[in-house]
A and B are shown apart, each in its own frame.
Chain A
Amino acid sequence: MTLRRFTILLYLVFLVMPLYWLVNLSFKTTFEITTTMTILPQSPTLRNYAFIFTNPQWFGGLLFSIGYVVLNTIISISVALPAAYAFSRYRFLGDKHLFFWLLSNRMAPAAIFALPYFNLYSAVGLFDTMWAVALAHCIFNVPLAVWILEGFMSGVPREIDETAFLDGYSLPSFFVRVFVPLIASGIGVAAFFCFMFSWVELLLARTLTNNRAIPAIMTQAISATGIDWGLLAAAGVLTSIPGALVIWFVRNHIARGFALGRV
Chain B
Amino acid sequence: MQKPIDNRAWFLVAPVFCLVAFNAMLPLMTVVNYSVQDTFGNNQFFWNGVQWYAELLNPGSEFGGRFYAALGRSFAFSGVILAIEVPLGLMVALSMPKRGAKLAICLILMALPLLLPWNVVGIIWQLYARDNIGLFGWTVNAVGIPFNYTNSAIASWVVVVLMDVWHWTSLIALLCYAGLRSIPDAYYQAAKIDGASRWLVFLRIEFPKLQRVLTIGILLRFMDSFMIYTEPFVVTGGGPGNYTTFLSIDLVKIALGQFDLGKAGAMSIVYTLITLSLCWIFYTAITTRDNQEIAQ
Contacts and interface: CB of A to CB of B under 8 A. Distances in A.
Contacts of A221: none
Q: Which of B92, B124, B223 has the most CB of A within 10 A?
A: B124
A169 B167 CA distance: 47
> Is the contact region of chain A dominated by helix, strand, or loop, or is it mixed?
helix
B109 interface: yes
Contacts of A15: 109-110, 112-113, 166, 170
Contact of B112 (A19, A103, A109): A19
Interface string A92-120: 11010010101111111111111111011
Given A92-B10, A199-B115, A142 B16 contact: yes
A108 B272 contact: yes
Contacts, number: 270
B194 interface: no
A33 B134 CA distance: 9
A262 B182 CA distance: 13
Interface string A152-177: 00000010000000000000000000
Interface string B271-290: 11001100110010000000
A255 interface: yes
A109 B248 contact: yes
A8 B97 contact: yes
Contacts of A199: 115, 117
For chain B, give the interface size range.
Answer: 35 or more
A4 B132 CA distance: 35
Contacts of B20: 102, 105, 138-139, 142-143
For chain A, give the interface size range.
Answer: 35 or more
27 contacts: A11-B95, A89-B3, A89-B9, A90-B3, A91-B4, A92-B5, A92-B6, A92-B8, A104-B279, A108-B24, A108-B227, A110-B248, A111-B248, A112-B251, A116-B26, A135-B19, A219-B123, A235-B123, A239-B120, A240-B112, A243-B112, A243-B117, A247-B111, A258-B174, A258-B175, A258-B177, A263-B220
